[in-house]
């Protein structure tokens, strides 16, 4: 995930309109309570099943989807192509950034 954040740094700066220093501080606040798991701990069987699932979507997302399957956790993504492809294959354990934003809005109204 840290590599993904770095890979998309320019896009994040553009979307958030934050100076680099502020974005780095925000990333630090967000990730400080996340436990990062080595991909090698995901069972090979899960990796192979996930590669089959993603073969016509995006194999680069294999570690993220496989981990969510292994942990039986929701996959948080803003990748519309991934979301659409997985939903078409009846993979429903996804939450998008828009979904989270809507949930936060509902909580704030209470």
pLDDT in tens, 11-37: 888 988 989 999 889 888 888 888 888
Do 75 and 96 share a structural domain? yes
DSSP labels for 27-80?
HHHHHTTPPP--GGGS-HHHHHHHHHHHTTT-GGGHHHHHHHHHHT-PEEE--H
Do 63 and 29 share a structural domain? no
Do 48 and 29 share a structural domain? no
Structural domain total, the chain: 2
Nearest-Å Rg of the Cα atoms of the chain is 15
Do 52 and 6 share a structural domain? no
Q: What is the pTM of this model?
A: 0.74
Gap between the Cα atoms of 94 and 9, Å rounded: 23
Gap between the Cα atoms of 14 and 10, Å rounded: 6
What average pLDDT score do residues 91-104 get? Answer: 90
pLDDT in tens, 30-56: 888 888 888 899 999 999 999 999 999
The boundaries of the domain holding residue 85 are: 37-110
């Amino acid at each position: 995930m840290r590599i993904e954040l770095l890979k998309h740094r320019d896009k994040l700066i553009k979307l958030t309109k934050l100076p680099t220093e502020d974005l780095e501080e925000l990333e630090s606040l967000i990730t400080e309570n996340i436990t990062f798991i080595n991909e090698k701990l995901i069972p090979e069987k899960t990796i192979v099943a996930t590669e089959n699932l993603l073969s016509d979507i995006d194999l680069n997302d294999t570690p993220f989807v496989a981990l969510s399957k292994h942990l039986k956790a929701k996959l948080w993504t803003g990748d519309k192509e991934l979301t659409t492809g997985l939903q078409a294959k009846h993979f429903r354990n996804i939450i998008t950034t828009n979904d989270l934003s809507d949930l936060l809005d509902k909580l704030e109204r209470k």
